[in-house]
């Protein structure tokens, strides 16, 4: 039925164009142009996070500082794609990571895990729900993760080739901070304070990693 409906719509469109006495060549060029626009739009939506990471990296190379440090507080300006991208060091290796408060646990690609020497378990995989469906991932631990002065140790992570080149910093990191909030399109990350009221790192007491729910690498926006 869908095919019949589509054919009917095309017939109506072609009939309308023929009434206007437009050439077949013009009609075909118009159809090809619209098809290209649709394909490019679909690809842009499907890979919006990867495109956002590319823009963020390009901005950094051009000297546009979207991540600033004031004392122990880190401020990250919203990227043009509407997300927050952080310059994160995983075991000393710098990566661009999407900060996603909807992701229960931090999720990284196989490439990032290899370059950061993060070993993922070889046991039974865990199943992670993403916008692209359910994917299999392996559990691992990040020895040290830092965003500027904010540091934490022994952070749980899931690793999967299905994440592509997208690395996501989830709630199991954010929950170790004193607070995080958005002010005027700027994400503000503040560390925990020690008993004396002085700022300390983000890991005064590493929390138990929650069960993985979804890294939401393609979360609706």
* Whether residue 113 is found in the same domain as residue 168: yes
**What's the domain range around 21?**
2-34
- The secondary element (H helix, E strand) that includes residue 31 is helix 24-46
Answer yes or no: do 72 and 152 share one domain.
yes
Q: Does residue 98 share a domain with residue 185?
A: yes
pTM equals 0.60
Same-domain check for residues 75 and 166: yes
- Whether residue 28 is found in the same domain as residue 112: no
- Report how far residue 14's alpha carbon sits from residue 24's, in angstroms, rounded to the nearest whole number: 9
Is 56 inside a domain boundary? no
**Residue 94 and residue 183 in one domain:** yes
pLDDT in tens, the chain (221 residues): 555 555 555 666 666 655 555 566 766 777 777 777 777 777 666 655 566 666 655 655 554 458 899 889 999 999 888 899 999 999 999 999 999 998 999 999 999 999 999 988 877 788 887 767 788 899 999 999 999 999 999 999 999 988 888 899 999 999 999 999 999 999 999 998 753 334 444 544 444 434 444 444 444 43
Question: Starting at the edge strand that comes first in sequence, how are the strands of the sheet with 67-70 ordered?
Answer: 67-70, 73-77, 186-190, 179-183
Q: Is residue 7 part of a domain?
A: yes
Q: Is the dihedral of CA 111, 166, 74, 155 positive or negative?
A: negative
């Amino acid at each position: 039925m869908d095919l019949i409906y589509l054919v009917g719509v095309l017939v109506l469109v072609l009939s309308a164009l023929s009434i206007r006495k437009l050439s077949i060549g013009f009609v075909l060029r118009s159809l090809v142009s619209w098809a290209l626009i649709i394909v490019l739009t679909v690809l842009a939506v499907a890979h919006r996070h990867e495109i956002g990471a590319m823009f963020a990296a390009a901005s950094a190379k051009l000297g546009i500082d979207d991540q600033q440090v004031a004392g122990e507080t880190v401020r990250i300006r919203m990227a043009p794609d509407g997300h927050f991208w952080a310059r994160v060091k995983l075991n000393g290796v710098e990566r661009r990571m999407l900060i996603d408060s909807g992701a229960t646990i931090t999720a990284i690609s196989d490439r990032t895990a290899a370059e950061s020497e993060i070993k993922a378990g070889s046991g039974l995989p865990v199943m992670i729900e993403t916008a692209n469906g359910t994917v299999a991932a392996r559990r691992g631990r990040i020895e040290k993760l830092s965003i500027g002065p904010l540091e934490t140790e022994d952070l749980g992570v899931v690793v999967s080739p299905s994440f592509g080149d997208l690395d996501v910093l989830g709630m199991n990191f954010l929950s170790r901070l004193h607070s995080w909030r958005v002010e005027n399109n700027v994400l503000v990350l503040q560390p925990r304070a020690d008993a004396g009221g002085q700022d300390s790192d983000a890991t005064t007491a590493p929390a138990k990693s929650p069960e993985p729910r979804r890294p939401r690498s393609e979360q609706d926006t």
